[in-house]
Amino acid sequence: MTTKPLLTRAEALLNRLVQVREQEQDIELRATVERVQSRARKAWDVLAEVAQAAPALKERGVRLPVVPNPPSIEVAKAKSTLRKTAESIVGTDLSTTVERIKVQSVNQALEAGEKIARTVVIDLNGAVDARRVELLPRGIDRPVVSYPGVEDSLVVGLRNVQRSLRFKVESLRVRDLVPHLDGVLRDVERWERERPRLDAALADHHPEVKEFLRRAATDEGAPWHLITPQVQQWLADSAHTALLKVVLRA
């Protein structure tokens, strides 16, 4: 039995193993490049969204966060590092590219970019929330009460608007800030249009009845002395008491 075929097969197997190992190394190198690209792309995408959203937010009255000019030393250094690294890897092979992007200075520059992106998003959320607070209509903290004769749909709608306007703006993506603020503006408009309809439900009642109902709608409730003869007469009508109940408190 000759050993030549066996040696040939062994050599072929070794060559194949070398190829597999080289492919694995190549895959690992490419994965390293892709991770760096992904980090840089995410920070870039956030800042691009900020640049796109800023004019629309400003038009809606948002006071945009102030960007330092000139930029901080950390930002300037990060920009310089990334620019020089990008220039140095043009035309290089994969292995050289990985060696140059794995240095600590590049990682620090990417971390600086990621930090800036996070800070800008947080600051923009805060600026939009400040605008929300400015837009809050008068009486938004008053309870929305279903007075006798008021449509349930009006009460439910106002309560939903009230809940929405109280929602603090935080942790939203930049792309969602403009649509969210537009929703706030619509809710404010709806509140100012429909809240008077709720208050108008009391317009035809006696002043003592109005005061009784307003106080009854609060967490503290209406004190007993507000049940005047005029209020007692009003309460005698069963149509007026369907939504009322008495709660004893110590």
Q: Tens-digit pLDDT profile for the chain (250 aa)?
A: 444 454 454 455 455 545 555 566 677 767 776 777 788 788 778 888 988 999 999 999 999 987 654 455 565 666 566 566 666 666 666 566 657 656 566 667 777 778 888 888 999 999 999 999 999 998 898 888 777 777 889 989 999 999 999 999 999 999 999 999 999 999 999 999 999 988 787 777 888 888 888 787 777 788 888 889 998 888 888 777 766 777 766 5
CB 151 within 8 A of CB 173: no
Looking at the fold, whether 130 and 37 belong to one and the same domain comes out as yes
The residue ranges of DSSP E strands in 145-214, in sequence order, are none
Residue 212 covered by a domain: yes
Residue 187 covered by a domain: no
Structure token digits, residue 122: 């947080």
Give the end of a domain, one of 75, 100, 134: 134
CA–CA separation, 82 and 37 (whole Å): 12
Looking at the fold, whether 126 and 45 belong to one and the same domain comes out as yes
Residue 49 covered by a domain: yes
Number of domains the chain contains: 2
Residue 117 covered by a domain: yes
Residue 78 covered by a domain: yes
Structure token digits, residue 25: 């190394």
Residue 245 covered by a domain: yes
- Enter the DSSP assignment of 144: -
Residue 43 covered by a domain: yes
CB 216 within 8 A of CB 244: yes
pTM: 0.69
Phi, psi of 61 (to 5 degrees): 90, 10
Give the end of a domain, one of 134, 159, 193: 134
CA–CA separation, 175 and 183 (whole Å): 14
Looking at the fold, whether 130 and 206 belong to one and the same domain comes out as no
- Taking Cα atoms as reference points, which of 64, 168, 175, 179 lies closest to residue 123? 64
Looking at the fold, whether 128 and 207 belong to one and the same domain comes out as no
Structure token digits, residue 158: 């106002």
Looking at the fold, whether 130 and 220 belong to one and the same domain comes out as no
State the residue range of the domain holding 57. Answer: 32-134
Give the end of a domain, one of 83, 105, 134: 134
Contacts of 240 (CB under 8 A, 6+ apart): 148, 234
* Residue 239: strand, helix, or coil: helix
Residue 189 covered by a domain: no
